[in-house]
């Protein structure tokens, strides 16, 4: 069964094609700057790789281009687009319509209604799904909601201290996100260790970041709350923030609530604190050269990670493993060192040399550490691919 997994942005479409259930990746590609005069397109199929510029007006056109690449008579991997059994989406938020679902009008309407919760994600996904349903009605579309993995979180770790009816009537709770990534880390750690009852703290650190406490591959807590704007500071998103500061800012700046929320979701985080960049690589370089605001931004980020790490040691009653994943978690030697420093009291001791030389999947704890420390590249796409297959097969 050939399954296409799509990762969408407002002006981007990235994909991977898998042969399931063997989980063999047949192709990967993407289109950036969709809707602009010239879009950047790339594709990798076997030994073939190419990049070019062309006009791609919308996401339906992007999928058409993707299918034409996959069926190219010279270097494609499919004889016909009919071989694609389904398209899976790493969708973000639909409130109580969580889980893994076939895309239908009810789901699309709910995603559009909740666009304020995930403004960077819901609008492009809903728009693209509508375009694709119309353009390719014969191909099943499957939405793997990021909140699905966190449905196992117990009420004490999921409930805000708010009027009860807000949760019941308006779906205000700690939903949790990055579900595909944390799910992958949970299952991969069981494979790597041969144990399926591990207490794992998964640190997904990248453009957006979260920590997840898992036991036996089951989510027990996640640092993201009602929206993907919360928890840790992100590249340009604020993270945890006191809502009672908003009236003060409205009076002081003359800005509306909508304008301030836009600032918090696009001008906050590492970018807002540093005034320089939301990219940890830029900040680490600047901090090393004495840039004080870059140093402060990184310090706040490291402290927030340690805050949730300590909390999740309490949630789980200790940990068997701490896993760093995501673009920052996998690549930042200094971040892993800062996060794990002075945690010997919790049985956590990093080996400096192993940390520096870590690549791909690697253990980086010291020999006398009671807790394993891992670097494990995540694979959200294969998780969505598996879920897409299960949903399509369950439909038949």
- Contact status, residue 253 vs residue 260, Cβ threshold 8 Å: yes
Confidence of residue 82 (pLDDT cuts 50, 70, 90): confident
As a whole number of angstroms, the distance between CA 318 and CA 331 comes to: 25
Q: What is the pLDDT of residues 25-56, one digit of tens each?
A: 999 999 988 888 899 999 999 999 999 999 99
279 annotated as belonging to a binding site for a ligand: yes
Domain ranges of the chain: 2-145, 193-375
Which CATH architecture is the domain 193-375 placed in?
2-Layer Sandwich (3.30)
Q: Do the annotations mark residue 122 as ligand-binding?
A: no
Annotated ligand binding at 327? The verdict is yes
Query: Residue 276 — very low, low, confident or very high, per pLDDT cuts 50/70/90?
Result: very high
Rounded mean pLDDT of the chain?
95
pLDDT, greater one: 67 or 254: 254
For residue 111, the model assigns a pLDDT of 96
Packing angle, helices 105-113 and 122-135, rounded to 10: 160
**330 annotated binding-site participant:** yes
329 is in an annotated binding site: yes
pLDDT for 58 beyond 90: no
Within this chain, domains 2-145 and 193-375 share the same CATH topology? yes
Over residues 302-307, mean pLDDT: 98
| CATH number at 2-145 | 3.30.420.40
pLDDT tops 60 at residue 207:
yes
Full-model pTM: 0.93
| Separation of alpha carbons 189 and 215, rounded Å | 11
| Structure tokens that stand for 142 in this block | 């499957």
**Is 380 labelled a binding residue?**
yes
Percent of the chain at pLDDT exceeding 90: 89
Model pLDDT, residue 121: 85
How high is the pLDDT of residue 396? 55
Q: Is 14 annotated as a binding residue?
A: yes
A 10 A CB-CB count for 164 gives 8
Q: What is the mean pLDDT of residues 164-176?
A: 96
* 10: pLDDT strictly greater than 70: no
């Amino acid at each position: 069964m050939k399954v296409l997994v799509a990762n969408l942005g407002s002006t981007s479409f990235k994909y991977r094609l898998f042969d399931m259930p063997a989980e063999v990746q047949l192709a990967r590609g993407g289109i950036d700057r969709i809707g602009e005069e010239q879009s950047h397109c790339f594709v990798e199929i076997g030994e073939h790789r190419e990049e070019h510029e062309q006009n791609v007006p919308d996401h339906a056109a992007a999928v058409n281009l993707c299918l034409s690449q996959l069926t190219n008579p010279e270097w494609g991997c499919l004889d016909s687009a009919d071989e694609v059994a389904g398209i899976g989406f790493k969708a973000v938020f639909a409130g109580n319509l969580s889980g893994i679902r076939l895309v239908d009008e009810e789901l699309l309407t709910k995603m559009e209604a909740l666009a304020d919760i995930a403004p960077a994600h819901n609008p492009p996904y809903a728009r693209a799904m509508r375009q694709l349903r119309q353009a390719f009605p014969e191909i099943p579309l499957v939405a793997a909601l990021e909140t699905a993995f966190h449905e196992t979180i117990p009420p004490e770790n999921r409930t805000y201290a708010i009027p009860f009816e807000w949760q019941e009537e308006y779906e205000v709770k700690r939903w949790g996100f990055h579900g595909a990534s944390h799910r992958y880390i949970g299952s991969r750690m069981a494979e790597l260790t041969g144990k399926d009852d591990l207490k794992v703290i998964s640190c997904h650190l990248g453009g957006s970041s979260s920590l997840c406490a898992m036991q036996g591959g089951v989510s027990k807590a996640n640092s993201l709350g009602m929206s993907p704007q919360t928890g840790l500071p992100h590249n340009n998103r604020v993270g945890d923030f006191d809502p009672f500061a908003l009236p003060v800012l409205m009076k002081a700046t003359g800005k509306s609530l909508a304008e301030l929320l836009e600032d918090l979701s696009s001008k906050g985080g590492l970018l807002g604190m540093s005034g320089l960049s939301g990219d940890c690589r830029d900040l680490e370089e600047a901090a090393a050269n004495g840039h004080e605001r870059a140093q402060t931004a990184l310090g706040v980020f490291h402290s927030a990670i340690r805050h949730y790490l300590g909390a999740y040691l309490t949630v789980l009653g200790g940990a068997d493993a701490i896993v760093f994943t995501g673009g920052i978690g996998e690549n930042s030697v200094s971040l892993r060192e800062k996060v794990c420093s002075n945690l010997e009291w919790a049985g956590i001791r990093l080996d400096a040399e192993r940390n520096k030389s870590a690549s791909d999947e690697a253990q980086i704890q010291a020999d006398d550490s009671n807790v394993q420390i891992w670097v494990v590249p995540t694979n959200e796409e294969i998780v969505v691919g598996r879920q897409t297959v299960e949903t399509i097969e369950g439909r038949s």
